[in-house]
Structure formats: structure tokens, C-alpha cells
Structure 1
Amino acid sequence: MLVQKEFNLTQIDEIATAILAQSKHKIIAFHGEMGVGKTTLIKVLAKQLGVHELTNSPTFSIVNEYRTPNDIVYHFDCYRIEDEVEAYDIGIEDYLYSDAWCFIEWPERIKNLLPNDITEVTIEKINEQLRSIRLKN
């Protein structure tokens, strides 16, 4: 069970599997400093959900959409959002209430817009290869 665990970056597939198995919600907020591996983990999650296309960080577009055989995955990077009004302008509420997977980097930028029922993942860097991850439903 993944509540809090240290992991080596070579174990990222196992961590993604555990997150998908244990998340009670399709909206997952990823907390952590820049460079800790949030985008890398989200790429693995998308792949495990069945996304076959190349995934990358939506730093400039704010949201990327990916299709799986049975679902949609939205990947948000809210780092550049300076005001929650910007999130409204991209129609964030339509995404969040679409019943699609929503993976959100830098969720603190839109915290007042997030539903109460989300899963939160916090990643901390211990060293170049080792991370600590915490999952909260």
C-alpha cells in the first residue's frame, strides 16, 4: 500500500501502478518542487492508462489532452497561472467535472477551484535517484 514510501526512479512504473490502484478519485493533484519528477510520473501514469501518443509537459499550453481506448486524460501544468481567473478562461471547471482523468501539476495555483474529492500526491527529492512519495485520498 502506498501511503508514504521512498522509491528509486527505476521503480517509477511500480509507483504509477500503485497510484492508479489506490486513488479513489480521477483528479490527482501533484505537489513537489520543480525537477522532482512530477511530469515523468504523469507520463508513466498516462501510458499505463493506455495513452500511446507522445506525452509532454503542457507548460505553455497549460493543458494537454490524451485519448485512451476508453477514456480521456488531461494533464495540467498550472505553473504559469498567476490568477485563478486564467484557469476559468481555459474552462477548467469543464475539465474537472468531465469524469476524465485529470493530472494537475502545481495545483496550489488553482486550489480554490479544485473539488474536495481529489487524490493528492506529494513528491520530495531525497537525492538524484531517490524520492519520497505520499498519497492522500
Structure 2
Amino acid sequence: MNIVFSLDQIQEVAEKIIASNPKKIILFNGEMGVGKTTLIKQLCKTLGVEDATSSPTFSLVNEYQTNNNQTVYHFDFYRLNKETEALDMGVDDYLYSGNWCFIEWSEKIANLLPDEYSTINIELLADGKRNLELA
């Protein structure tokens, strides 16, 4: 799936992503500031998370509950120095939990990823819109 959108369309983009039935582990790729966290916040809201969401840049993972009792994990591995740091925090338990896992900077844990996941690539276009590719 490929979508070109502006940030004011992010709600409908999140709805389309969830409606496309992606794998529950989704890797988010894109340059710093392209809108990965903003999209993840909207995906959480679309799934029914009612609590405030934020970037887990310093905590590495944030956990949310949806209104129908699903768990959503949001990872940000930007500050990770070694894959062993992710192992130390129990990343395997999260990734194989069957819950939603939204992962930013997944290349930092490339050897730890399960075989099946979806990928969202976001690119900032010259006109300020984003190009999103879901695979």
C-alpha cells in the first residue's frame, strides 16, 4: 500500500493502515522528524488507546492498553548502543507476546527481529506531504 498524505490526514491514514490488516509487529523507517512518532500516536488512538501517548526515546518502550483490552508496545531504539541492551530489557518477551509492537529505529535490533513483520517507510516530500509505503 502506498499513500501520499499531509499531517492533517493522519487519522484516515492510520485507519487505512489498521484496516489493511498488517502484522502486529510494525517497523517504522524514515528520517528523524518525518512523523514516525506522530503516526504511531494516531495508530494507538485508532486501536482504542485513550491514555496520552509519547515517544519512548529515553525509556525505550512505552506500554498502552486499548479500550478493548489489547496491549500496544511502542519502541524507540534510537539511543540503543548495542543489541544486548535490547536483550537486557527483555525485547524477546515483547516481540513474541502476540501484542502490537510499533518499532522505531529497528535497524538497531535487526538480528533480534522475528521472521514476520510489516514495514512502514515514510519519506518527507518537497511539498511537505509524506509518502508512506506499507509492506
Verify same fold: TM over 0.5: yes
Aligned to 1:53: 51
Question: SS at the partner of 2:94?
Answer: helix
Q: What are the Cα deviations for residues 1-50 of structure 1, in whole angstroms up to 9, with x where unaligned?
A: xx122111111111111111114310000000000000000000001111
Match status 1:135 vs 2:129: no
Question: SS at the partner of 2:103?
Answer: strand
Match status 1:106 vs 2:110: no
In 1, Cα distance between equivalents of 2:65 and 2:134 = 25
Q: CA RMSD in A?
A: 1.1
**Structure 1 runs of 4+ with >3 Å offset:** none
Deviation of 1:70 (Å): 2.2
Match status 1:92 vs 2:91: yes
One-letter amino acid of the structure 2 residue matched with residue 14 of structure 1: E
One-letter amino acid of the structure 1 residue matched with residue 128 of structure 2: Q
Q: Name the TM-score, length of structure 2 as normaliser.
A: 0.95
Q: Which runs of 5+ in 1 are unaligned?
A: none
Identity of aligned residues (%): 55
Deviation of 1:127 (Å): 3.7
Aligned to 1:82: 81
Alignment match of 2:20 (pick from 15, 19, 22): 22
Q: Name the TM-score, length of structure 1 as normaliser.
A: 0.94
Aligned to 1:73: 72
Match status 1:43 vs 2:34: no
Aligned to 2:30: 32
In 2, Cα distance between equivalents of 1:87 and 1:52 = 27
Q: What are the Cα deviations for residues 57-80 of structure 1, in whole angstroms up to 9, with x where unaligned?
A: 000000000011220000000101
Is the CA contact (8 Å cut-off) linking 1:6 and 1:130 kept in structure 2? Answer: yes
In 2, Cα distance between equivalents of 1:62 and 1:101 = 15
Is the CA contact (8 Å cut-off) linking 1:122 and 1:133 kept in structure 2? Answer: yes
How many pairs are equivalent? 134
One-letter amino acid of the structure 1 residue matched with residue 41 of structure 2: K
